[in-house]
């Protein structure tokens, strides 16, 4: 399922239309509170996951956390908040499992006579596969609304085309909506 994505600079405070991001009902009179972890750099998440596995502590070295309250009716808000809770759990679980599996594969390869280079290669493939699982799942089943914080900007992702359109108007008329929206005639 495609989402309608709008990119704003990290420093810009987003203005949300008064409409439920889940069911598009106007004036929902309620907010959904969500928090999303992202990386400041492409390898940021991998680095943090590896550090987390090595030290057992949450490292916020290269990660960034965005907290938002978005207009959402109470029913949709419960589903959206639950979805973001599990999104965070899966992100950390895939990082910890990926790092543990990576070490296990390297040890296994070394015990079975593979060169250390081959062992590291197998380990990294396993690590990247596990890190990719939550990302692939989200691409196939996107939440009604989420954000992706990256270096310098934040991408706001809506399943609802109407909410995305109103969000663009409320924030920056020059902002470019998702190609999915633009390509639809």
* Residues near Zn ion (CB under 5 A): 20, 22-23, 73, 76
Could you tell me the smallest distance in angstroms from the CB atom of residue 123 to Zn ion?
44
CA distance 39 to 131: 13
Could you tell me the smallest distance in angstroms from the CB atom of residue 81 to Zn ion?
13
Residue 73 or 164: the one with the smaller Cβ distance to Zn ion is: 73
Could you tell me the smallest distance in angstroms from the CB atom of residue 24 to Zn ion?
7
Could you tell me the smallest distance in angstroms from the CB atom of residue 20 to Zn ion?
3
Which letter does DSSP use for residue 173 in this model? T
Residue 50 or 77: the one with the smaller Cβ distance to Zn ion is: 77
Could you please report the per-residue DSSP string of 16-68?
--SB-TTT--B----EEEEEEEEESSTTHHHHHHHHHHHHSS---SSEEEEEE
Could you tell me the smallest distance in angstroms from the CB atom of residue 18 to Zn ion?
12
Starting at the edge strand found earlier in the chain, the sheet holding 4-9 runs 4-9, 153-158, 145-150
Residue 73 or 106: the one with the smaller Cβ distance to Zn ion is: 73
Could you count the other beta carbons within 10 Å of the beta carbon of residue 147?
22
Residue 83 or 127: the one with the smaller Cβ distance to Zn ion is: 83
CA distance 62 to 49: 10
Residue 71 or 134: the one with the smaller Cβ distance to Zn ion is: 71
CA 59 to chain centre: 17
Residue 29 or 152: the one with the smaller Cβ distance to Zn ion is: 29
CA 97 to chain centre: 18
CA distance 88 to 38: 10
Could you tell me the smallest distance in angstroms from the CB atom of residue 8 to Zn ion?
23
């Amino acid at each position: 399922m495609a989402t309608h994505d709008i990119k704003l600079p990290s420093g810009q405070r987003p203005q949300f239309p008064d409409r439920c991001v889940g069911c598009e009902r106007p004036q929902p009179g309620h907010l959904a509170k969500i928090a999303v972890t992202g990386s400041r750099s492409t390898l940021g998440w991998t680095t943090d996951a590896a550090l987390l596995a090595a030290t057992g502590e949450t490292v916020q070295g290269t990660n960034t956390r965005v907290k938002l309250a978005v207009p959402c009716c109470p029913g949709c808000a419960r589903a959206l908040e639950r979805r973001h809770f599990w999104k965070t759990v899966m992100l950390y679980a895939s990082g910890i499992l990926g790092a543990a599996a990576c070490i296990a594969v390297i040890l296994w390869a070394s015990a079975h006579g593979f060169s250390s280079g081959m062992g590291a290669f197998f380990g990294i493939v396993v690590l990247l596969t596990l890190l990719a699982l939550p990302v692939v799942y989200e691409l196939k089943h996107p939440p009604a609304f989420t954000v992706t914080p990256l270096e310098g900007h934040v991408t706001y992702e809506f399943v609802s085309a109407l909410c995305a359109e109103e969000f663009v108007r409320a924030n920056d008329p020059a902002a470019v909506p998702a190609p999915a929206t633009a390509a639809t005639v």
